[in-house]
Structure 1
């Protein structure tokens, strides 16, 4: 299971550490978001300022859950492993683990995030494109 999904490198900077020298808790979600966006940009499902052209990138977070296991206590390179747990018609739940740069232990935090794809004009749930479905299907974690 440690090799499921994809691994994206992320950086932690000195100014993200709190007064105790640990990564501030809300920054973990930022690392996950950055990894998710990098993955999609590399696959040409781009994020831009023109909201009408976002397509599959026009989505909102419905739910975000995170469990902290160990503190990140220094700046440097880390890895976020992401896998798809559920792909619905308009929704997507993906799991994640924030780990070392190479994806190995320790796990600093893990959780999942649910997204709903929206139509930019109506702001109502909209189906994922075929391109997104193909990319996401490759990342579905097998059931235990």
Structure 2
């Protein structure tokens, strides 16, 4: 029997200064909400705080390689939203977070997407493998783990070429571990097995 994959979720307030001239959540604020959710995930799983400590937590040295977001429907006015994240793919030196931005009371997406991150050596700033401890602790949140790093993160291709989500078809409907109801985005829907942190 296949193991159940977990996800991590946070509720965030949407305030007046988060809105644009149309009184909807400004597109740039989605990235901030995702960033805050991923920060809460690191704290939940590893106890990492804002201060970087490469000697105690070497996997804390990582950079964002790319963000991909599909805006599906607007968040209107002052409100609250949920941001759900999981690890879509764990490579040798990289990982891809999947995410959904949702209302508090229903599983209908406002936005979906992915964030690609790469672990780096703090001295050389070159990609370096995740530690075994890191891989073990994030494993419950992983949809897919790979032994070999894919060429899409090697930096040998044109900007954006072969990165997860660079194909328009892939950005619209990334792979999902959950069944996909007709007419819906392909992202985790069930609250069962989830972690609210």
**Bigger Cα Rg:** 2
**How does the TM-score come out when normalised to structure 1?**
0.86
Pick the aligned partner of 1:57 from 60, 84, 87. Answer: 60
- The aligned length equals 141
**How does the TM-score come out when normalised to structure 2?**
0.64
Runs of 4+ displaced beyond 3 Å: 47-54
Distance 1:116 1:42 in 2: 20
Deviation at 1:138, TM superposition (A): 0.6
Distance 1:74 1:129 in 2: 43
2:124 maps to 122
Structure 2 contact 54–60 (Cα < 8 Å) conserved? no
Alignment of 1:12-31 (within 5 A): 12-31=14-33
Residues 29-38 or 134-143, more deviating: 134-143
Alignment of 1:126-141 (within 5 A): 126-141=128-143
Deviation at 1:47, TM superposition (A): 3.7
CA gap of 1:127–1:47, structure 2 versus 1, over 3 A, is: farther
Residues 106-115 or 6-15, more deviating: 6-15
CA gap of 1:75–1:130, structure 2 versus 1, over 3 A, is: farther
Aligned to 2:40, the other structure's residue is in SS state helix
Structure 1 contact 5–139 (Cα < 8 Å) conserved? yes
Structure showing the higher strand proportion among its residues: 1
Does structure 1 residue 100 correspond to structure 2 residue 103?
Answer: yes
Q: Which has the higher contact order (CA 8 A, sep 6+)?
A: 1
